[in-house]
């Protein structure tokens, strides 16, 4: 059994990082760190990062856990630095169909084209690090359609025993982004955190293919021009005839 180092969840935003942390964080040995700490960002010194890791580990021990898991999607940009500072850490990086990601990012935060480019940049980095034995790539689509098999694969990578309760994470109310568990009547920037908190308290649901009902012809063409090649190379499309 390898040392139980920290677990870092990353990937392009809106790819399922919160779902992934919710599942991993329901393991009896693992303490999930709420929210997104950004503790590995470049403005943080090496000493600051190590101090944060020690604080997280202390919190885990106090809670009777042997290790902790943290989720900051943009840590995908700092994998090399974090693994150099925390050599026992394990990265679990989630990937998702870029069409769904771009539509979701465009709706909530960014322009559609920036959502496409962010997906390209982040997934290119994921592929770059995929040969590191301390990095596991997992597909959102695998997680929602073959949840137990995917979770077992994650547990094997983390040297933990699979626990069925991991797939029942929604039975344990969590307030990572908001104090309320209720879905807001409508989505807006002001209700974004409440909506996210409601989402992570729901059972696993299949969110694949939403782009088919919301993406315009103009957006489809833009996506093909910006990211069609990567979409094909990742196996999400056979060609650009979609």
Q: For residues 58-77, give the mean pLDDT.
A: 98
Burial of 23 (0-12, 13-18, 19+ CB in 10 A): buried
Could you read off the pLDDT of 167-188 as tens digits, one per residue? 998 888 776 666 666 667 766 6
Q: How far apart are CA 227 and CA 186, in angstroms?
A: 31
pLDDT digits (tens, 9 = 90+) for 109-145: 668 999 999 999 999 999 999 999 999 999 999 999 9
With respect to residue 182, please indicate whether it lies within any of the assigned structural domains.
yes
pLDDT at position 166 over 80: yes
Residue 242 in any domain: the answer is: no
| Domain-embedded: residue 239 | no
Say if 238 falls within a structural domain. Answer: no
Per-residue b/e over 166-184, b at no fewer than 16 CB within 10 Å? bbebeeeebebbbeeeeeb
pLDDT given for residue 241 in this prediction: 96
Q: In which domain, by residue range, is 82 found?
A: 7-233
Q: What is the pLDDT, as a whole number, of residue 172?
A: 80
Q: What is the mean pLDDT of the chain?
A: 92
How does pLDDT run across 8-19, given as a tens digit for each residue? 999 999 999 999
Number of domains in the chain: 1
Q: How confident is the model at residue 155 (pLDDT cuts 50, 70, 90)?
A: very high
What is the predicted pLDDT for the residue at 196? 66
214: CB partners within 8 A, 6+ apart: 103, 107
For residue 47, being part of any structural domain is answered with yes
| 31 belongs to a structural domain | yes
- Band (pLDDT 50/70/90 cuts) for residue 148 is very high
pLDDT for 197: 64
Of all residues in the chain, the percent with pLDDT exceeding 70 is 88
2 in a domain, yes or no? no
DSSP 85: H
Among candidate residues 81, 94, 77, the one with its CA nearest the CA of residue 157: 94
Residue at 137 is within a domain:
yes
Check residue 210 and give its pLDDT.
95
pLDDT for residue 4 is more than 90? no
User: CA-CA distance, 127 to 133, in Å (whole number)?
Assistant: 13
| Model pLDDT, residue 1 | 45
pLDDT tens, position by position, 31-45: 999 989 999 999 999
In the prediction, which pLDDT does 189 show?
Answer: 64
Q: What is the pTM of this model?
A: 0.90
Residue 198 — very low, low, confident or very high, per pLDDT cuts 50/70/90? low
Instruction: Give the C-alpha separation, 12 to 105, whole Å.
Output: 10
DSSP single-letter state for residue 177: S
The CATH number linked to 126 is: 3.40.50.300
* Distance of alpha carbon 104 from alpha carbon 92, whole angstroms: 21
Comparing 85 with 194, the larger pLDDT belongs to 85
């Amino acid at each position: 059994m390898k040392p139980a180092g920290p677990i870092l969840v990353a990937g392009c935003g809106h790819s399922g990082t919160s779902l992934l942390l919710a599942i991993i964080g329901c393991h009896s040995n693992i303490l999930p760190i709420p929210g997104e700490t950004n503790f590995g960002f470049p403005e943080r010194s090496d000493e600051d990062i190590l101090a944060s890791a020690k604080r997280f580990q202390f919190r885990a021990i106090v809670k009777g856990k042997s290790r902790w898991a943290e989720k900051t999607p943009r840590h995908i940009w700092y994998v090399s630095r974090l693994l150099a500072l925390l050599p026992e850490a394990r990265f679990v990086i989630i990937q998702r169909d870029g069409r769904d990601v771009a539509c979701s990012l465009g709706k909530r935060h960014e322009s559609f084209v920036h959502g496409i480019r962010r997906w390209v940049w982040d997934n290119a980095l994921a592929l770059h690090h995929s040969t590191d034995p301390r990095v596991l790539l997992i597909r959102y689509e695998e997680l929602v359609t073959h949840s137990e098999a995917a979770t077992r694969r994650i547990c094997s990578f983390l040297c933990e025993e699979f626990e069925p309760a991991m797939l029942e994470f929604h039975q344990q109310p969590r307030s990572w982004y908001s104090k309320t568990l209720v879905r807001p009547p409508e989505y807006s920037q002001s209700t974004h955190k409440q909506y996210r908190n409601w989402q992570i308290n729901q059972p696993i649901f299949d969110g694949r293919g939403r782009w088919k009902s919301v993406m315009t012809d103009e957006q489809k063409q833009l996506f093909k021009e910006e990211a069609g090649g990567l979409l094909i190379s990742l196996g999400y499309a056979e060609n650009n005839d979609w």
